[in-house]
A = this chain, B = another copy of it.
Amino acid sequence: MIKPVTVYDIAKEANVSVATVSRVLNNSAPVKESTREKIAGIIAKHQFQPNALARSLFKKETGMIGIILPDITNPFFPEVLSGLDIEARSKGYTFFLCDSVSSNRDFTEQYDRETRFLNILMEKQVDGIVLIGGRINLAKPSKEMVQEVVEAGKRVPVLLINGNLPGASLHRVAVDEKKGAELAARHLVELGHRNIAFIGGFKQMSNTIQRIQGFRNVLRESGIKERSDWIRTGGFSVAQGIELAEELLQLPIGERPTALQCANDLVAIGALKAARREGISVPEQLSIVGFDDIPFAAHSIPELTTVSLKCHEVGRTAAGVMDKLITRTKVAKTTILSPELVVRESTAPPAV
């Protein structure tokens, strides 16, 4: 590795002081054109790159935004990340990515990792931290889990995406999930379904609770009797979707649901697979609605009717809010976006 060049080296070679070098580097004060050119030439010649560590140490800003998410492999996250990135990049920020996923799907381990990441990010002096997924989706996070984030929030701007921490009063950007679930359920009801089940998610998570709440609201207002055994949680993965759907679809034809509302698109894709395995055609014999609208929702066969969480827009919005937080511009504490029903091919009126 080559020995790094510093402002001093440049200054010496140009017969000027480091201050002048710094001035041309940052355009922070007028410099005589001829010396500026000389310095610029030397900088270019050595391909000099100022040490951002030193600069940040002094300026107390790094231009880095830390982001803690639970699993980059879940397509939902890259989608919002991408929105965040595009918007934040235009404002000069770069990203510090922390994936708290645990190899063995152990939540405790995941939350521990979140804590560690929170600390690492603060030590690295990021300008802001955004949290998405993980503990902020817990309906009843422990006191410490909340406290840690609150403490972090005292030192650096913290923004929560699609989640919350009861009693923490942090800035948030979120999509109204209950409303999203209502959209989905209402669509099913309007198609004529009366035997609808909800599958997927984790019942200890607030996102799941809200989605189920929306679902039940619509059933109730439609005068459909509730069946607690038709609300089955267990996970957000395709594998879980297959399993949960199978349980329901193996019931005799008259006694099984004619429509499945899923906690997310992954589960819906699992349901699609389960239906196929059972020889049930979608949407003719079974309607399926997803949630999130990840890209693959449009690519499955049949294409998934789903609720768009506008991942990209959420990301962009979050980046905007974060920037305001960092620059101490006034922003609303909570920004709620509206979900949207996307009707594609996986839903139809029930078979008669």
User: Which chain A residues have a beta carbon within 8 Å of chain B's beta carbons?
Assistant: 1-2, 4, 47, 49-54, 56-57, 62, 64, 71-73, 75, 77-79, 81-82, 85-86, 94-99, 101, 103, 119-120, 122-125, 151, 154-157, 238, 269-270, 272-273, 276, 295-296, 299-301
Contact = CB atoms under 8 A, between A and B. Distances in A.
A273 B299 contact: yes
Nearest to A148: B47
A94 B95 contact: no
Contacts of A269: 299
Contacts of A299: 238, 269-270, 273, 296, 300
Nearest to A94: B120
**Identical copies of this chain, number:** 2
A256 B147 CA distance: 64
A270 to B, nearest CB: 8
Contact of A98 (B2, B94, B151): B94
Contacts of A120: 52, 94
Contact of A301 (B96, B123, B125, B300): B300
A73 B82 contact: yes
B103 A86 contact: yes
Contact of A99 (B82, B96, B103): B82
Given A1-B156, A77-B78, A95-B98, 4 more contacts: A49-B123, A52-B125, A64-B124, A72-B82
A154 B119 CA distance: 32
A51 B4 contact: no
Given A97-B96, A101-B82, A122-B49, A75 B75 contact: yes
Give the residue among A71, A73, A269 with the most B Cβ atoms within 10 A. Answer: A73
Give the residue among A81, A151, A270 with the most B Cβ atoms within 10 A. Answer: A81
A30 to B, nearest CB: 25
Contact of A72 (B47, B49, B78): B78
A62 B95 CA distance: 15
Contacts of A47: 151
Contact of A154 (B1, B71, B73, B95): B1
A336 to B, nearest CB: 24
A78 B123 CA distance: 26
A151 B51 CA distance: 16
A72 B62 contact: no
A270 B155 CA distance: 48
Contacts of A79: 73
A71 B86 CA distance: 11
Given A52-B124, A52-B125, A1 B73 contact: no
Given A276-B301, A299-B238, A301-B272, A123 B51 contact: yes
